[in-house]
Amino acid sequence: MASGKIQYKTEEEIDLIRVSAKLLAQAHGEVAKLMKPGVTPKQLDRRAEEFIRDHGGVPSFKGYGPANAAFPHSLCLSVNEVVVHGLATDKPLQSGDIMSVDCGVYLNGFHSDSAYTYPIGEVSADVLALLRETKASLYKGIEKAVSGNRVGDISYAIQNHVARLGYGVVRELVGHGVGAKLHEKPEVPNFGKRGSGPLLQTGLVLAIEPMVNLGKKDVVQEADGWTIRTKDRKPSAHFEHTVVVRKDKAEILTSFEYIEQALASQ
């Protein structure tokens, strides 16, 4: 997935990523405004692409991958047991569903990447708890994204938070560096040992993204070549921010602010 060596960003480059990340956050907010039972994933995908392009950006995911099997949508829309890379369909969302919306924006020569998992209508208490704790684990990981720590410190913080609650932490899919390329070094697993992995230094921009299952950790890939779902078909949650490693506290470049404003007004 990620190739080459670790790329540290200058403050000027981080400023450019910050602008990309703001557009991404606003695009998430536009999607959130439509999030309710009856909406179709394709409607959400169309809105996100329209908004991103209207503001001078390009959806990072659309056309990603080999030309003969490129990702066909602007959003990865992953419903219920789908972990990530779900394809937009015309099937309306129903009360009781959950859906991860993963989006990337390319602007000013740089990518940004974030994801948020929504409850649709009335969702069971155990699934709401999965969403809450997966989101909390994201921030536990971000707390460790400081200069002098190692990637494994982020990984361990995420795993430690959710595994003690009995959830399954996906192994096959990981966070990553992000910048001029959507996927850069280093990989950032959601499980691992403290003090292991590459050293974190100021200027490293990472997409940290816990993917956590209500059941076991095992996943399978569907025949479409993209969709990843839980093997036991239990729900999965996914939250992601693009952050920059700093000396004392990581700086979060993406934001859930626009999502939360949209949800609060519904």
The 10s digit of each residue's pLDDT in 236-251 is: 999 999 999 999 999 9
Could you give the percent of the chain with pLDDT greater than 70?
99
SS3 for 43?
helix
161-185 mean pLDDT: 97
Domain coordinates of the chain in residue numbers?
Answer: 11-264
> What is the model's pLDDT at position 67?
85
Which distant-in-sequence residues (6+ apart) come within 8 Å of 68 by Cβ? none
Q: Does CATH number 3.90.230.10 belong to domain 11-264?
A: yes
Task: Return the number of other C-beta atoms located less than 10 Å from residue 30's C-beta.
Answer: 17
Query: Going edge to edge, which strands form the sheet with 228-230?
Result: 82-84, 228-230, 219-221
pLDDT in tens, 114-162: 999 999 999 999 999 999 999 999 999 999 999 999 999 999 999 999 9
How much is the mean pLDDT over the chain? 97
pLDDT over 90 (residue 1): no
pLDDT in tens, 16-28: 999 999 999 999 9
pLDDT over 80 (residue 4): no
pLDDT band at 2 (very low <50, low <70, confident <90, very high): low
pLDDT in tens, 178-214: 999 999 999 999 999 999 999 999 999 999 999 999 9
> What is the model's pLDDT at position 3?
54
Sign of CA dihedral 187, 192, 197, 203: positive
pTM for the complete prediction?
0.97
Number of residues that make up the chain: 266
| Residue 134 in tokens | 């997966």
